Amino acid sequence: MGVGRSYGSGPRATTALAGVDLAVHAGRSVGIVGESGAGKSTLLRLLLALDRPTTGEVRYRGEPLAHRNRAAVRRFRRDVQIVFQDPRSSLDPRMTVGDVIAEPLRSLRIPGDRRARVAEVLGWVGLEPDAATRYPAQFSGGQRQRIAIARALAPSPSVLVGDEPVSALDVSVREQVMDLLRRLRAELGLTLVLVSHDIAVVGQLCEETVVLHDGRVVEAGTTEQVLTRPQDPYTQRLLAAVPRLP
């Protein structure tokens, strides 16, 4: 609540976020949209407990994120997983796909049959179990992003965060991955937080939309409301910039 994040001090201090109020309810899908420099990356780091706010506080399940409590942080890391923008850089090329997907299970000390879990989540994203023995470079861009999604799902998170998860993909593949995210959210009951510069992508995947501009929330509401009845001039400019077929 009232989250702010500044860097530096004195006259050279830079404010990345100022007084941001954002609530993500369980089972809902929320898009955070804005151009480069709007504060999306800073907000994402705070939501993932990778940084601490200068003002205000970030809460999860009603409790402040306790960075000093290692057990609490480990539970949070298990419960909140992220899919990054570019699978070429987020997947270690030296590891097999099976090792990539099992990595969070090891780091979070999650017990169980890891090989069986890897095969299960590969099936969820539409890949065969034998994909586990191959390397990321042997797959297409869309398949690599499916592998990244499988890795995020391996620890059984409640919240899936997407950091521009389809922007590095070709248009046809992008639609397939968005369909996959939509299906997984419905089948697994996931809470989805999608960070994107593309308001059209957010419009297809999210029930609620938050618009950031210069580190502040300038508009928030249901996606239908924000896209069809935008109140802020910045939101209106974003929508006017969306390409439309004649």
pLDDT bin (cut points 50, 70, 90) of residue 213 is very high
- Which fold, 27-240? Rossmann fold (3.40.50)
Domain ranges for the chain: 27-240
Residue-wise pLDDT for 40-70, tens only, equals 999 999 999 999 999 999 999 888 887 777 8
**240 Cβ partners below 8 Å, 6+ apart?**
none
* Residue (of 219, 226, 160) closest to 194 by Cα position: 160
Residue-wise pLDDT for 87-128, tens only, equals 888 899 999 999 999 999 999 999 999 999 999 999 999 999
pLDDT reported for residue 122: 98
- CA contacts within 13 A on the Cβ side of 176: 13
